[in-house]
Copies of this chain bind each other. A is one copy, B any other.
Amino acid sequence: MKQIAFIGLGHMGAPMAANLLKAGYLLRVFDLVQSAVDGLVPLGASAARSAHDAVDGVDVVITMLPASQHVEGLYLGEQGLLQHIAPGTLVLECSTIAPASARKVHHAAAERRIPMLDAPVSGGVGGAVAGTLTFMVGGDAQVLEKARPIFAAMGRNIFHAGLDGAGQVAKVCNNQLLAILMIGTAESLALGVANGLDPLVLSEIMRRSSGGNWALEVYNPWPGVMENAPASRGYEGGFLSALMAKDLGLAQEAAQLTGNATPLGSLATSLYRLLLKQGFGDKDFSVVQKLFDQGL
C-alpha cells in the first residue's frame, strides 16, 4: 500500500485527493488553508502540519498549486522541499505552470536523484470530481509507467507528451488552441446570427462540416444551443476566463523563450485580458461570446 503526500487542496486538488483515498491510497495532506486540510480528514486522510511534515517517509509526493512561483517557491532553494524528500521518492507535479519552471524543478530533482514527472491536467473541477481528468505527462517513460496507477485513480486519459517539461508544453499548446477554437466559434456564430441565421442551425452545420471542433461538439458558447453547456446557465461554473487567461499567458511565455510567432494565440490572450478587465474573470471562458453580442 503506497503512502502519498498530497500538497495543494484547492478546487482541483481536494477532489483529486478524495479519489486517491477512494482508490485505497494512504494520504498525508497539506494546504495553507486549514479548512481545506480538515475537509479531507473525514475521508480518511492524515493531516500534515506543514509541507515538510507531509513528505516525511512517503513513497509519492503530489502537488497541485496555483502558479509557477508557488511551485518554484515550494520545491527549490536551500529550504525547498526537494531537500526534504528522500531520493527515489516519486514526485508528481500536477500544477499548470510555465514549461521553464517545470524544467527547473526537474533539474533540481534529478540532482537529488528524485524521479519526477510534470503532469498538468485538463478536465476542470468536474473532471477532478468524476475522476475523468486528462493528464499530460512530461518526463521519463519508465517513471510514468510506475505512476500510471496513481494517475488512473484520478483520470481517464494519460498521455506521455515527452521529456522533462513536455507535459506543460502540451498543456499550454492545447489550451491556446482551445481558446482560439472558442473565440473563433463565438465570432463566427455571432456573424451568422447577425446575418439572419439561427444559432442552433448554424452550430449544427459547422459542427458536421470542416468547422467542427470541441467547442461546437460539447461546449457551445451560444446560450440555449446546448442545455448542459455553461452558456446555457449564465456562463456559471466550467473553466473560468481567469484561468484561461493564465494559461494563455503561459503559452506566451513559452513563445517568448523560442521566439515563436503565435498571431491568433497572442490575440486570444489580449481578448481574454480585455474580458477580465470587464469583470468576466469568474465566468466560464465561453463568456467570450458576449464580446460579440452584447445582447446575450
Contact = CB atoms under 8 A, between A and B. Distances in A.
Nearest to A209: B174
Given A173-B189, A192-B169, A205-B170, A198 B162 contact: yes
Contact of A258 (B178, B194, B204): B194
Interface in A246-296: 249, 251-271, 273-274, 276-279, 291-294
Interface of A: 99, 122, 134, 136, 157, 159-163, 165-166, 169-170, 172-178, 180-181, 183-185, 187-192, 194-198, 201-202, 204-206, 208-214, 217, 219, 245, 249, 251-271, 273-274, 276-279, 291-294
A264 B264 contact: yes
Contacts of A212: 213-214, 217
Q: Which of A194, A198, A205, A292 gathers the greatest number of chain B CB atoms within 10 Å?
A: A205
A170 B197 CA distance: 8
A279 B295 CA distance: 11
Interface of A is mostly: helix
A205 B159 contact: yes
Contacts of A264: 180, 183-184, 187, 264, 267-268
A118 B260 CA distance: 28
- How many subunits of this chain does the assembly comprise? 4
A171 to B, nearest CB: 9
A177 B184 contact: yes
Nearest to A134: B209
B277 A161 contact: no
Nearest to A219: B210
A165 B194 CA distance: 13
B252 A190 contact: no
Contacts of A271: 261, 263
A245 B270 contact: no
Contact of A262 (B134, B157, B187, B257): B187
Q: Which of A187, A249, A293 gathers the greatest number of chain B CB atoms within 10 Å?
A: A187
A256 B136 CA distance: 24
Nearest to A195: B169
10 contacts: A163-B196, A169-B191, A169-B197, A169-B202, A172-B191, A176-B187, A177-B185, A191-B251, A263-B270, A266-B266
A166 B267 contact: no
A247 to B, nearest CB: 11
A256 B252 contact: yes
Q: Which of A162, A169, A177 gathers the greatest number of chain B CB atoms within 10 Å?
A: A177
